[in-house]
């Protein structure tokens, strides 16, 4: 007895919207990174769900590559947060309004 695909999609939409909520409401750059991670993982849930739906493993393999890409994104993101803290002494994203100072 398999779960219908639309419930996977509903879970994915919930995780994605939690990520969108975090990005829209919070101002901490590290929370931003976590929210982007939630959104990427929501896409992974969709890939795996449709992989199972069609009986083809392409989606599962591609979700592995998405995870690797998310790791690269976090490495760069934390580097940017580090520079942000060094230059503004804060990681509030609304304070970093200029690119040169």
Partner 1 sequence: MTTRPRLATDVNYVNGLAALALFAVMGYVFMTSELGMPAGFADGSITASIGYAMFDMLDQAAIEAEGFLVAFIVIALVLDAALDGAVMLARREDDESVVAAITDGGRPLSGRESDGADAETATDDVTGGDD
**Quick one: which of 53, 88, 95, 96 contacts partner 1 (CB under 8 A)?**
53
- Beta bridge partner(s), residue 28: 92
30 near partner 1, judged by CB under 8 A: no
Q: Which two tokens stand for residue 100?
A: 């040169």
Which of 61, 72, 74, 51 has its CA nearest to residue 2? 51
Instruction: Point out which residues bind partner 1 (CB under 8 A).
Output: 2-6, 9-10, 13-14, 16-18, 20-21, 24-28, 49, 52-58, 60-62, 64-65, 68-69, 71-73, 75-76, 78-80, 82-83, 85-86, 89-90
């Amino acid at each position: 007895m398999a779960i219908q695909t639309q419930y996977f999609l509903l879970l994915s939409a919930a995780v994605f919207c939690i990520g969108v909520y975090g990005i829209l409401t919070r101002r901490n750059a590290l929370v931003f990174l976590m929210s982007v991670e939630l959104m990427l993982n929501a896409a992974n849930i969709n890939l795996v769900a449709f992989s199972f739906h069609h009986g083809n493993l392409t989606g599962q393999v591609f979700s592995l590559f998405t995870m690797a890409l998310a790791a690269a994104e976090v490495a760069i993101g934390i580097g940017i947060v580090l520079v942000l803290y060094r230059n503004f002494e804060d990681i509030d994203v609304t304070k970093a309004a200029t690119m040169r100072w």
